[in-house]
Chains A and B, each alone.
Chain A
Amino acid sequence: MNNALALAGIVIKELYRRKDFYVLFILTALITLAMGSFKLFNDDQIVRYIKEICLKLIWLSSIVIAITTAARQLPAEKEMRTIFPLLAKPITRGQVVLGKFLGCWFACGLALLLFYTFFCIISGVREHHWPLLNYFQALWLHWVFLAVVTALVLLGSVIFSAVSANATISFIVVTGILFVARHLNKIALQMTEPGRSVTYAIYFAVPHLELFDVSDLIIHDFPQISWGICGLATLYGATYAALFLVATWLVFRRKSLN
């Protein structure tokens, strides 16, 4: 585990030394502040649209950060040949995969913390109301979502040869799941066999990432989700993340590094 954590530290260092994260954060902040500066109908208490815009930007930025960071980890190690001095040390390929995952996930977590802090400040200043536990739940579920996405993209990185192909496909898959997965059962009902069975199979097989998006509950000031439900969702996400990581390890350990 120490090896994995050491590697995770390197990944985090890489993220905060690259410029992408800062660009996305500044973009999110600027757009949110710009949107918030409008005084519509002389009413400065309107806040939900700002919350929605901010949260949408946070989600978009986090997906971009997670996918672009995770997609380049293993391919960059091979391309830059840093994998050789790394694997020449007493570290297994499984630890490398775990370390890369933890690094990407923790880095995304730090980014999320910053984004959500900004969101908290912006919404609190307008609403004069700080539902911190609700925000914490949203942040936690978002982070679990990013664990699944990171693991999925890492799997893609050992399957696809090009980083750009992996990133593009991952982005399409993730956004597709977010928008459509919840409705696949309804779509299946309107289909005939064998399409119906295939759609149902996909519906039950894909990780339902939309479960982790509680933006609407935050925007419209719904009460907290029960902690038990939150825990179950965490377990659900952790299971899929573990599944993808094991698959990644199984593929990576057989891969020739030349």
Chain B
Amino acid sequence: MPSPKLILALLFAICLSCGSILQPWHQAWTGVEKKSGSALETFLGDSRRLFANQIFAKADAYFHSGYYPTIFDAPKKEESHMAGGEEDDAHSTEETNHVEHVEDSAGSFLGPPRDWIDRFSRNFFPSRHTHLEKNGAEREILPWLRLSAELNPQRVETYTIASYWLRSRLGKVKEAEQFLREGLRANPESYEIYFELGRIYEQNHADPLRARNLWEIALRKWEESKKENDEKMKPNEVVYSAIVGNLARLEEAQGHLPKAVFYLKLLKEKSPVPEEIQKQIDEMQTKLNASPQK
């Protein structure tokens, strides 16, 4: 009877041999071997995208200090206003001014209490709509955005939202840029990320040339995505408007009025207020006609 240790060694050798034979076959079967060795990706597989959505919602919940609808509550139509942007700056300012406006009775997802238990229970969880408004409190949403990006690197808004808060409220411009570039590596065709990068260069680095380059790339990517995804997914026209709007503003500031007019014309096609845009175009045309040709 051979010794047990010998049998164990033999079994181990057989396992190793099988492994080395099967590994290339498995690689051929699954396709290109993934470069990322992320543990989350390995453990969760494709379901990590579901988790990513939940984690993203968690960030939104944190932005609202825990006041957030559950799956049992009637969903609100408005999108998350954790998203960054000047329009959201204005919105959040409004919210600050109206933070005393108690929405429980009508406007919130909770609605008026249905019974004494419901009424009593509202003392024990966040039942008021608030935003993270204290200096730097917005940092609390970042871990969830980081995790969401880790789970689903293809969700572009994770990067843009995080970048907005990092650069505009927390003063972490370098980190914002790094995160955006990370997003760009995972999403090389993302016009949103290019746009955000452009904003960083324009607003934080005071580098309008680079900003313009990035916005022009963003515009090009947007147009390419429009051609490719016509049936599948409508590219975001709000972002398009922001890109061309910012380009127009930048060109005007730089004194390149013809280019500014060109971008304003593009903006007019998508704008809900074309007459306002036309007014601006007219003003610019007037200035153009008035200035001597060089």
Stretch from B25-33, B134-142, B258-266 at the A interface: B134-142
Assess the B140–A46 pair: CB atoms within 8 A: yes
Q: What are the residues of chain B within 8 A of A214 when measuring CB–CB?
A: 124-125
User: How many whole Å from B69's CB to the nearest CB in chain A?
Assistant: 11
Interface size (A, Cβ < 8 Å)? 35
B166 at the interface (CB under 8 A from A): yes
Assess the B65–A222 pair: CB atoms within 8 A: yes
Cβ-defined partner of A217 (8 Å) among B125, B136, B146: B125
Q: How far is the CA of A203 from the CA of B72 in the complex (A)?
A: 14
Within residues 92 to 136 of chain B, which ones have a CB less than 8 A from any CB in chain A?
Answer: 114-115, 117-118, 120-121, 123-126, 136
Q: What residue in chain B is nearest A232 (Cβ atoms)? A: B120
Interface centre among A210, A211, A229 (most CB of B within 10 A): A211
Assess the A40–B72 pair: CB atoms within 8 A: no
Q: How far is the CA of A43 from the CA of B118 in the complex (A)?
A: 39
Within residues 158 to 174 of chain B, which ones have a CB less than 8 A from any CB in chain A?
Answer: 166, 170, 172
Assess the B121–A40 pair: CB atoms within 8 A: no
Assess the A43–B125 pair: CB atoms within 8 A: no
Interface centre among B121, B124, B142, B166 (most CB of A within 10 A): B124
A42 at the interface (CB under 8 A from B): yes
Q: How far is the CA of A65 from the CA of B113 in the complex (A)?
A: 34
Q: How far is the CA of A141 from the CA of B125 in the complex (A)?
A: 13
Q: A210-B121, A211-B124, A212-B124 are in contact. Are A219 and B66 (CB under 8 A)?
A: yes
Q: What are the residues of chain B within 8 A of A220 when measuring CB–CB?
A: 62, 65-66, 126
Assess the B146–A41 pair: CB atoms within 8 A: yes
Assess the A213–B179 pair: CB atoms within 8 A: no
Within residues 177 to 215 of chain A, which ones have a CB less than 8 A from any CB in chain B?
Answer: 182-183, 185-187, 203-204, 208, 210-214
Q: What are the residues of chain A within 8 A of B175 when measuring CB–CB?
A: 41-43
Assess the B125–A216 pair: CB atoms within 8 A: yes
Within residues 23 to 53 of chain A, which ones have a CB less than 8 A from any CB in chain B?
Answer: 38, 40-43, 45-49
Interface size (B, Cβ < 8 Å)? 28
Q: What are the residues of chain A within 8 A of B123 when measuring CB–CB?
A: 225-226, 229
Assess the B66–A43 pair: CB atoms within 8 A: no
Assess the B70–A41 pair: CB atoms within 8 A: no
Cβ-defined partner of B139 (8 Å) among A43, A203, A217, A226: A43
Q: How far is the CA of A49 from the CA of B139 in the complex (A)?
A: 10
Q: What residue in chain A is nearest B174 (Cβ atoms)? A: A42
A64 at the interface (CB under 8 A from B): no
A233 at the interface (CB under 8 A from B): yes
Cβ-defined partner of B115 (8 Å) among A43, A46, A185, A221: A185
User: How many whole Å from A196's CB to the nearest CB in chain B?
Assistant: 13
Q: What are the residues of chain B within 8 A of A232 when measuring CB–CB?
A: 120
Q: What are the residues of chain B within 8 A of A222 when measuring CB–CB?
A: 65, 126
Q: How far is the CA of A47 from the CA of B143 in the complex (A)?
A: 10
Q: How far is the CA of A174 from the CA of B175 in the complex (A)?
A: 43
6 contacts between A and B (CB under 8 A): A46-B142, A183-B73, A186-B72, A212-B124, A217-B125, A225-B123
Query: 4 closest Cβ contacts across the A-B interface?
Result: A183-B72, A216-B66, A220-B65, A49-B143
Interface residues of B (CB under 8 A from A): 62, 65-66, 70, 72-73, 114-115, 117-118, 120-121, 123-126, 136, 139-140, 142-144, 146, 166, 170, 172, 175, 179
Given A42-B172, A220-B62, A232-B120, 12 other A-B residues pairs in contact with their CB atoms under 8 A: A38-B143, A41-B139, A41-B166, A42-B175, A43-B175, A46-B139, A183-B70, A183-B72, A185-B115, A210-B124, A213-B124, A225-B123
